[in-house]
Structure 1
Amino acid sequence: MFLVKVTYTAPLGEVDAWRPAHGDWLRELLGRRLLLLAGRRVPLTGGVYLAPDMPADALEGLLATDPYVVNGVAAHEVVAFTPLMAAEGLEGLLEPTG
C-alpha cells in the first residue's frame, strides 16, 4: 500500500486552473480502485492519496498522468508501507489488492 503526499509547487490560482481536470482524474482512478482515498491537506498546500498495493512503477506511471503534475503545479512524494492493523470495518485494506 502507498501513501501519496501531494504538494503544490505553484500559487493556488495556477493550481485552481487544473482543479476540474484533476478531479476527473481522481474520480476515474477511485472508480477503478487504483486509488482508495483522496483528500485535501489542511491547510490547503496539496493533498493526500491512499493507493492499494501494486508495482511501484505502475503507481509512478499513474501519478505521472495527474493533470497537476503534467502542468507543473504539483509534485508527489510516495511512501510505501505494509498495513498490519485496521479499524473495524476496514480489515479489507489489509488484504493484497494488486
Structure 2
Amino acid sequence: MFILALTYVKPSEEADRHMEPHMAWVKEGYAKGWFIASGRKVPRTGGVVLAVGQHAEIEAYVAKDPFTVHGIAEYEITEVAITTTIEGLDILKG
C-alpha cells in the first residue's frame, strides 16, 4: 500500500484554479483500481491518497497529476507493508 501525501507549494487559490482537472485525475485513479481513499489535510495544506498497485505505476501516475504538472503541490510517496487490518480491509495487505 502507498500513502501519497501531497503538500501545496503554491497558495490554495492557485490549487483551486486546478482543482477540477486534479479531481478528474483522482477519479481516474479510483477507476483504475489504484486509489482506495483520499481527502484533504486539515488544515488545508494539501491532501492524502491511499493507493494500491505497483510502485512504478503509482509514481508515474503521480507525475501526471495536474497539481504536479503545474507545480501546485509536491508529493511524498511512502510504501507501507500492511500486515494487520480490521475485517474487510484485506485489500491493504501487500
| 1:54-94 alpha-carbon deviations (Å, 9 max, x no partner) | 1x222110000000010111010011111101112212322
Structure 1 residues 27-46: Cα deviation after superposition (integer angstroms, max 9, x where no partner):
01111112111111111000
Q: What is the TM-score normalised by the length of structure 1?
A: 0.89
Query: Could you say what the CA RMSD is over the residues aligned between the two structures, in angstroms?
Result: 1.1
Please list, as runs of the form range in 1=range in 2, the aligned pairs for 1:1-98 lying within 5 A after superposition.
1-54=1-54, 56-94=55-93, 96=94
TM-score of the superposed pair, with normalisation by structure 2: 0.93
Runs of 4+ in structure 1 off by over 2 angstroms are none
Aligned residues: 94
Structure 2: gaps (5+ residues): none
Identity %: 34
